[in-house]
Amino acid sequence: MPISSSISSIPDRPLRGLLLLLATVAGFAIANIYYNQPLLDSFRQSFPQNASWIGAVPAVTQFGFAGGMLLLSPLGDRIDRRRLILLQIGAFASRCSQPPLRLHCLC
């Protein structure tokens, strides 16, 4: 059986659906970085006495996303992906169950 006929026998429909799902999730993840920018003026009005840090909010979110892409994405090549996902979910759940850290510089 030639290779081209075996490749063409793979159904396209489930792959297109999966590709659409992955593209949508990636789009929302990247758009999430920019959702705070229209809210910066509201942040500034809510914290009028200490509004100097407001400009750092978009930069910190973009650096966090870039750091995750640079540091966490390559781990998928070195560690079993299922184990990595479980570790990330566990770390996220343990962090969410703790009270928020108080930033002393914003007191």
Task: Report the alpha-carbon distance of residue 96 to residue 18 in Å, rounded.
Answer: 30
Q: What is the CA radius of gyration of the chain?
A: 21
Do the beta carbons of residue 80 and residue 62 sit within 8 Å?
A: no
Which pLDDT does position 37 carry in this prediction? Answer: 86
Among candidate residues 76, 72, 105, 74, the one with its CA nearest the CA of residue 91: 72
Whether the predicted pLDDT of 105 surpasses 50:
no
* Cβ atoms 50, 106 nearer than 8 A: yes
pLDDT tens for each residue of 65-80 = 888 889 888 888 888 8
Per residue in 75-101, pLDDT (tens digit) is 888 888 888 888 888 888 887 777 766
pLDDT digits (tens, 9 = 90+) for 9-50: 556 667 888 889 889 988 998 888 888 888 888 888 887 777
Position 17 scores a pLDDT of 85
